[in-house]
Amino acid sequence: MKLRNQFTIFSALLVLLSVVGVTSFLYYTEKKVLLKEMELKEMATVEQLAQIGREALIAKDDLLLLNYVNLIKKTTPAVVYAFIENTTGKILAHTDPMRIDEKDVSAGAPAALKTENILKQNFFEKIIDAEKSQSATPGSAGTDEDNGVAARIEILDFSKPIYLGKNKAAVARVGFSKEELRKIVTDSLSKTRTRIYGIGVINMLIGCVVAFLLAAAISRPIKILSDGAAEIGKGNFEHELHINRKDELGQLSTTFNDMAHKLKELDEMKRDFVSSVTHELRSPLAAIDSYTNMMMKQLESQIGKGRNKNQQLERDKTWEDNFARIKKNTVRLSKFIDDLLDVSKIESGKLDVCPENIEYEPVISDMVELFTPKAAEMGIDLSFEIEKDLPFVFGDANRLKQVITNLVGNALKFTPEGGKIKIKAYMEKANGSGMVETAVADTGFGIPEDKVEKIFSKFEQVKEHRDKVKGQKGTGLGLAIAKAIVEMHSGKIWIKSKVNEGTTFHFTIPVAMKKEDENGGKNIAC
Amino acid sequence: MAEKILLVDDEDDYLNLLRLILTPEGFEVETACDGEDALRKLDEFKPDLMILDVNMPKLDGHGVCKKVRENAQFKQLPIIMLTVRSNEEEEVRGLDNGCDDYVTKPFEPTTLVTRVRTVLRRAKKKLKV
């Protein structure tokens, strides 16, 4: 998983956890506060009733009491009943007018009559349905009761004694429906909950966005670093990382650039070294080669003149053979040095390719002619086939010959006796591409799929195959050079291969340019 | 009269080789081991042709070539440059500096002799004109 996504998910989870924690904490405190507030309100209702009751008792104003009791019932919907009774339990005023002057027989009565201070009780009470008794006329209330509309309700009852002087004169009692109370709490809490959820969701969204941005901010330089490392890994030491940060990532990028710089220096050193070594190797080798040429020529002329006695002639022939061997080896060595030099030129971008409009057929036929004796000696059938009316191509004949030499040389090396090598040249199938495709197909060992990519790298050969080759094994530079040359012609090179069936190298080069374009092309390449 | 060739190369091996190839072909040969030595011997020896190596210490082949062309007496002296193979850049530079032909190392004796003869013949034609 991407670092950025990991970061985002991790931070989002953190935000989620904290939001859930904070909101549930808020919710529970809110609930507690609400319950406490409600209880205080309830107690205040009783206390106020007691206060009014006391005043009414002193003033002997029953009407005030009745009015107030009804007022309580109206203003506080949760109230089931409110009444005042004297110390014997006789009801003086009641929300239900039918109960006035009756004796209080409710479950809470004994405790309420005894209490000296405010008292809170919970009990179940058979009460005429609050709504019905409220809507019904006093006359019909009795009928309702008779019909058994009364329900058992859970009651929260508050009692407060009323003192006149030091004597307890009466008790004020208010009963709340617990269900109603709960409803009020739930209603109010559900509002709070919606609010908290809203805030929570907004927080979550903001948190996720911030987490994503933060993650992106942290992971972007890491991505730049990893891309940069990959680029440098590919050999592009010019690549420079730009991370303007003063933290560890910034330091890392600086270190990285330093490393790339050092690598570049090392690479340049290697290139210079290879270049100077090859020049230094070439000079004495050229001397050996030239001397050999001279001596071979002298021997040839001596043998040709036939001046020698038989014995000497024989010796000269042996010498001629020996010189031929020296010559063969110097050629092989100088070919390798040339390849090395070409590679170092490719690396420094100094390989000279001078394309012009040329006929393609001779390029191939010349090379086939050159390789035919060697192929015959190895028991390999080498042939070529060129499409009719193939147009001229825009290429450097010598360099293209080098490509074909390298590909055919490669095919010869890895094709066993009795095999076939066929070169084909034709217009590329994709119409209008303006490219001539060349295919060099062999019936050799084939290249395993995982090695196909690497085969064009310097010094790269398939090891198991290399061990099968007798004599000259080659250096693994040929294909790298071929690739570079083809690419300098703006062509492509690729392989199709099946293990134990053979390999086909394909490459494309552009067809000849029109006269006016030709100069432009030349200027670029030379 | 045998045609005279001045060979200039800092490597003794090449001087020797060139002498071994050219003497049997009937040329009179003198050698110089660097650019300055070559310019000195030019006046004494008065060659018909100079074979000049490019890579030399002190004064290199291109430098010698320029100096020779500046000297009115040797303005027409045919010069063959010796370069290391596949160094087209140097060949072009050599021709720009006024050399007549170049031979790359390593070389076939026959090629060298043919080039020498061709350049001499061309130079003679020029003189007649």
Chain-chain contact of B108 with A287 (C-beta, under 8 angstroms): no
pLDDT of residue B102: 85
Q: Can you give the residue ranges of every domain in chain A? A: 3-193, 248-347, 356-525
pLDDT bracket for residue A143 (50, 70, 90): very low
Average pLDDT score over residue span A113-125: 85
- Under 8 Å between Cβ of B95 and B66: no
Token pair 């290249």 in the structure block, residue? A447
Query: For residue A98, is pLDDT > 90?
Result: no
Chain-chain contact of A334 with B105 (C-beta, under 8 angstroms): no
pLDDT of residue A460: 65
- Give the residue from A165, A218, A148 showing the smallest Cα distance to A7: A218
Assess if CATH 3.30.450.20 describes domain A3-193: yes
* CATH class held by domain A248-347: mainly alpha
pLDDT bracket for residue A113 (50, 70, 90): confident
Chain-chain contact of B105 with A294 (C-beta, under 8 angstroms): no
Same fold, A3-193 and A356-525: no
> Among partner residues B11, B105, B110, which is closest to A297 by beta-carbon distance?
B110
> Among partner residues B20, B86, B89, which is closest to A338 by beta-carbon distance?
B86
pLDDT tens for each residue of A9-60: 888 888 889 888 988 888 889 889 988 998 899 889 989 888 888 888 888 8
pLDDT of residue B70: 87
Q: How far apart are CA A44 and CA A408, in angstroms?
A: 108
Contacts of A297 in chain B (CB under 8 A): 108-110
Query: Percentage of chain A with pLDDT > 70?
Result: 88
Chain-chain contact of A291 with B13 (C-beta, under 8 angstroms): yes
pLDDT tens for each residue of A459-480: 666 666 666 665 566 667 888 8
Query: For residue A137, is pLDDT > 50?
Result: no
pLDDT, averaged across chain A: 82
The token pair at A228 is 């940069």
pLDDT tens for each residue of A227-258: 888 888 777 777 887 777 788 888 888 888 88
Ramachandran quadrant class, A235 (left: phi over 0; alpha: psi -120 to 50; beta: rest) = left
Average pLDDT score over residue span A295-309: 76
Q: What angle do helix axes A397-413 and A478-488 make, rounded to 10 degrees?
A: 150
pLDDT of residue B89: 62
Neighbouring-strand partners of residue A175: A81, A157
DSSP 3-state percent helix, strand, coil across chain A (nearest 5): 60, 15, 20
Collapsing DSSP states into helix, strand and coil, what is residue A115?
A: coil
Chain-chain contact of B105 with A287 (C-beta, under 8 angstroms): yes
pLDDT of residue B92: 67
Q: Which of B10, B14, B83, B113 should be substituted to probe chain A, the one whose Cβ sees the most A Cβ atoms within 10 Å? A: B14
pLDDT tens for each residue of A307-362: 657 777 778 888 888 888 998 888 888 888 888 888 888 877 778 888 889 898 88
Average pLDDT score over residue span A424-439: 82
Query: For residue A136, is pLDDT > 50?
Result: no
DSSP line for chain B: -PPEEEEE-S-HHHHHHHHHHHGGGT-EEEEESSHHHHHHHHHHH--SEEEEES--SSS-HHHHHHHHHHSGGGTT--EEEEEESS-HHHHHHHHHTT--EEEEES--HHHHHHHHHHHHHHHHHHHH-
- Classify domain A356-525 by CATH architecture: 2-Layer Sandwich (3.30)
Could you tell me which residues come within 8 angstroms of residue A484 by beta carbon, excluding any fewer than 6 positions away? Answer: A342, A346, A351
Number of structural domains in chain B: 1
Terminal CA-to-CA distance of chain A, rounded, Å?
49
**For B24, nearest residue in chain A (alpha carbons):** A298
Distance from CA of A282 to the nearest CA of B (A): 8
The token pair at B23 is 């003497």
pLDDT bracket for residue A523 (50, 70, 90): very low
Q: How far apart are CA A238 and CA A268, in angstroms?
A: 12
**CATH code of the domain in which B85 resides:** 3.40.50.2300
**For B107, nearest residue in chain A (alpha carbons):** A290
Give the amino acid at A292.
T
Distance from CA of A226 to the nearest CA of B (A): 41
**For B22, nearest residue in chain A (alpha carbons):** A294
Distance from CA of B105 to the nearest CA of A (A): 6
DSSP line for A231-262: HHHTT-TT-------SSHHHHHHHHHHHHHHH
Token pair 């020698």 in the structure block, residue? A308
The token pair at A503 is 């390999």
Of the CA atoms within 13 Å of residue A448, those in its CB half-sphere come to: 7
Strand A381-386 and strand A420-427: the pairing is parallel
The predicted complex's ipTM stands at 0.73
- Under 8 Å between Cβ of B47 and B4: yes
Contacts of A334 in chain B (CB under 8 A): 85, 106
Contacts of A352 in chain B (CB under 8 A): 88-89
Q: Which of A276, A277, A283 should be substituted to probe chain B, the one whose Cβ sees the most B Cβ atoms within 10 Å? A: A283
pLDDT tens for each residue of B86-110: 556 666 666 777 788 888 888 888 8
pLDDT of residue B114: 93
Distance from CA of A2 to the nearest CA of B (A): 51
Token pair 């045998």 in the structure block, residue? B2
**For B53, nearest residue in chain A (alpha carbons):** A283
The residue range of the domain holding B43 is 4-128
pLDDT tens for each residue of B45-77: 889 999 998 888 878 888 888 888 888 888 889
**For A286, nearest residue in chain B (alpha carbons):** B106
Distance from CA of A513 to the nearest CA of B (A): 25
Contacts of B21 in chain A (CB under 8 A): 294
Q: Which of B16, B84, B113 should be substituted to probe chain A, the one whose Cβ sees the most A Cβ atoms within 10 Å? A: B84
Contacts of A330 in chain B (CB under 8 A): 106
Of the CA atoms within 13 Å of residue A452, those in its CB half-sphere come to: 16
Average pLDDT score over residue span A95-116: 82
